[in-house]
Amino acid sequence: MDKMKIEIVLDVYNNIQELTEADQLLLQSARSITSIAYAPYSHFLVGAAAVLNNGEIIKGTNQENASYPVGICAERALLASTANLYPDVPIVSMAIAYHNLNGSSNKPVSPCGMCRQALSEFENRTNQHIRLLLSGMEGEVFIVEKSSELLPLSFGKKDLHNKL
Ligand code: THU
């Protein structure tokens, strides 16, 4: 019997000022767009902003629904917009921020499991890793160089076609 150990490494910054100018702008966009999130049920407003290989900036917010499972996270809203507006254009970096109207917003949160799966598929289809910047409205910023690091042992296209 063997054991396998899987580790992830994050860069931890104390605040937005420690980031490069480009990263600061992207995170500011994510923070700012939380204001148009539609989250009347959770009051947890999430904003995402991504820069693509072609230089375009795409944004997304969570969109909830009275039928709760119908709601969509900011990250997947952004991925769908990106794929529709710019098919096959990879994402360089995505900043994700949240404004918790029920509490504080000063610790980074990371994408939910469903969004990790969606990010993994997007990375695979565009053949490029997505860099993630995670933060609240203030305070620490986590940077993950490849979003797929957040989904070890992921299930993907390779598994469905493993007989080919
Ligand atoms: N949410 C996101 O949009 N992204 C995340 O990474 C975590 C959760 C949304 C889903 C729901 O509308 C609200 O936040 C509370 O879970």
The minimum-distance atom of ligand 1 relative to the CA of 73 is 3
pLDDT of residue 164: 53
Residue closest via CA to ligand 1's atom 10 equals 73
Question: 43 C-alpha vs ligand 1 centroid, how far in Å?
Answer: 10
Question: 42 C-alpha vs ligand 1 centroid, how far in Å?
Answer: 8
Q: Which of 36, 42, 46 to mutate to test the pocket of ligand 1 (most atoms within 8 A of CB)?
A: 46
Residue closest via CA to ligand 1's atom 1 equals 73
As a whole number of angstroms, the distance between CA 156 and CA 18 comes to 35
Question: 10 C-alpha vs ligand 1 centroid, how far in Å?
Answer: 21
The minimum-distance atom of ligand 1 relative to the CA of 62 is 3
Per-position pLDDT tens, the chain of length 164: 999 999 999 999 999 999 999 999 999 999 999 999 999 999 999 999 999 999 999 999 999 999 999 999 999 999 999 999 999 999 999 999 999 999 999 999 999 999 999 999 999 999 999 999 999 999 999 999 999 999 999 999 989 976 65
pLDDT of residue 161: 75
pLDDT of residue 162: 66
Helix extents (H) in the chain? 21-33, 74-85, 113-126, 157-160
Q: Which residues pair with 141 in a beta bridge?
A: 13, 135
Question: 109 C-alpha vs ligand 1 centroid, how far in Å?
Answer: 10
Those residues with Cβ within 8 angstroms of residue 130's Cβ, 6 or more apart along the chain or in another chain: 50, 90, 91, 92, 93, 94, 119, 122, 123, 146, 147
As a whole number of angstroms, the distance between CA 32 and CA 46 comes to 10
pLDDT of residue 163: 62
SS3 label, residue 79: helix
Among residues 7, 18, 64, 75, which one is catalytic? 75
Say if CB 47 and CB 98 are below 8 A apart: yes
As a whole number of angstroms, the distance between CA 63 and CA 70 comes to 9
Closest alpha carbon to 77 in 39, 118, 40 = 118
Residue 75 falls in the annotated catalytic set: yes
